[in-house]
């Protein structure tokens, strides 16, 4: 009786899961192998599957012959600024929406939801004209504000559920003991909502780090993030696939390492925030 059930599990569960994992990991593994294969060998025989043919030449050329490290610094400034601005606005907005009942509250929440339904392409032209008129086009602050237009609506929705799950009696008890509303927020609500704040901040960072359209249209000259820098590695008449793959691997490392370090907290925070809306 065990053999048929074991065979059925292998055919219906194990093999499909392995195929799905290979399908998901395959492109990344191929990109890593391409980045480790020297350019001459790529042109002659293709990607090397043997460690004997691997080399760090593409990574050395990427770091020495291009400004990729400077581009990563630009991305770090933009992603970090987006996290700070997004969390400051979303935490205070989530506290107000969860603690106060005022006319138009549901309409405001609905507008935050509707913003996420439209593609960011629709916002590029208005933001381009606005940033050019006020003089922040192709600057860090401009790209931080642009990324915040996508980050803040999601963060408000997510954090509202966290703050709403915290009993109001804790705020009232703190204010009875002499705390002001802001002190109750800082001393009571923020520590209890910290898992949600951390998971939201990580999501905002990864989203801002990988953003491309805003970086391409609202920056790209003085401020060139990693996503745009990788695109510039594609030549007009030829493509150095090894150098391009190396740029993709190095560009993805910060977000990947961050996710691996905090994946349990991120997944736990996302699921916990979805319990109560």
Segment 210-231 shows an average pLDDT of 88
Which pLDDT score, from 0 to 100, does residue 276 have? 45
Residue tagged 């703050």 (tokens): 163
C-alpha closest to that of 157 among 77, 94, 208: 94
Residue 14 backbone dihedrals phi, psi, to 5 degrees:
-65, -50
Q: Both 25 and 101 in a single domain?
A: no
Task: Give the 3-state secondary structure of residue 193.
Answer: coil
C-alpha closest to that of 164 among 235, 93, 213: 93
Q: Which residue has the higher pLDDT, 153 or 11?
A: 153
Is 1 a residue whose pLDDT tops 50? no
Provide the pLDDT confidence category of residue 3 given band limits of 50, 70 and 90.
low
Mind giving me the DSSP string for 48-102?
--SGGG--SHHHHHHHHHS-HHHHHHHHHHHHHHHHHHHHHHHHHHHHHHHH---
Residue 222 backbone dihedrals phi, psi, to 5 degrees:
-75, -35
Domain end position, chosen among 55, 70, 88: 55
Q: Both 198 and 74 in a single domain?
A: yes
Q: Which domain holds residue 19?
A: 2-55
Q: Both 173 and 40 in a single domain?
A: no
Q: Both 45 and 171 in a single domain?
A: no
Provide the pLDDT confidence category of residue 277 given band limits of 50, 70 and 90.
very low
94-141 residue pLDDT tens = 988 888 887 887 888 887 777 777 788 888 889 999 999 999 999 999
Q: Both 260 and 127 in a single domain?
A: yes
d(CA 243, CA 40): 12
Q: Both 198 and 226 in a single domain?
A: yes
For the chain, the domain total comes to: 2
Domain end position, chosen among 37, 55, 73: 55
Q: Both 131 and 43 in a single domain?
A: no
Q: Both 51 and 81 in a single domain?
A: no
Q: Both 76 and 163 in a single domain?
A: yes
The percent of residues above 90 in pLDDT, for the chain, comes to 21
The CATH number of the domain holding residue 131 is: 1.10.3720.10
Q: Both 200 and 173 in a single domain?
A: yes
Write the burial class of residue 76 (CB in 10 Å: 0-12 exposed, 13-18 middle, 19+ buried).
middle
Q: Both 220 and 237 in a single domain?
A: yes
Q: Both 172 and 252 in a single domain?
A: yes
C-alpha closest to that of 31 among 58, 61, 70, 52: 58
């Amino acid at each position: 009786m065990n053999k048929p059930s074991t065979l059925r599990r292998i055919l219906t569960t194990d093999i499909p899961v392995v195929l799905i994992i290979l399908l998901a990991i395959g492109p990344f593994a191929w990109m890593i192998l391409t980045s480790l294969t020297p350019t001459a060998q790529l042109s002659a025989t293709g990607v090397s599957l043997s460690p004997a043919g691997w080399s760090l030449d593409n990574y050395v050329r990427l770091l020495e012959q291009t400004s990729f490290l400077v581009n990563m610094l630009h991305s770090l400034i933009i992603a970090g600024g987006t996290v700070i601005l997004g969390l400051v606005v979303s935490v205070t907005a989530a506290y107000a929406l969860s603690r106060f009942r005022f006319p138009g509250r549901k309409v405001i929440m609905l507008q935050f939801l509707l913003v996420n339904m439209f593609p960011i392409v629709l916002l590029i032209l208005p933001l381009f004209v606005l940033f050019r008129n006020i003089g922040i086009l192709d600057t860090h602050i401009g790209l931080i504000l642009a990324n915040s237009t996508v980050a803040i609506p999601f963060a408000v929705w997510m954090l509202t559920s966290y703050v709403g799950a915290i009993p109001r009696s804790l705020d009232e008890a703190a204010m009875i003991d002499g705390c002001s509303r802001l002190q109750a927020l800082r001393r009571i609500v923020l520590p209890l909502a910290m898992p949600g704040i951390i998971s939201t901040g990580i999501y905002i960072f990864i989203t801002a780090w990988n953003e491309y359209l805003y970086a391409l249209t609202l920056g790209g000259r003085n401020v060139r993030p990693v996503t745009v820098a990788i695109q510039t590695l594609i030549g007009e008449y030829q493509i150095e696939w090894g150098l391009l793959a190396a740029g993709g691997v190095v560009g993805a490392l910060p977000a990947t390492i961050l996710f691996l370090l905090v994946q349990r907290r991120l997944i736990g925070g996302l699921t916990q925030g979805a319990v109560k809306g």
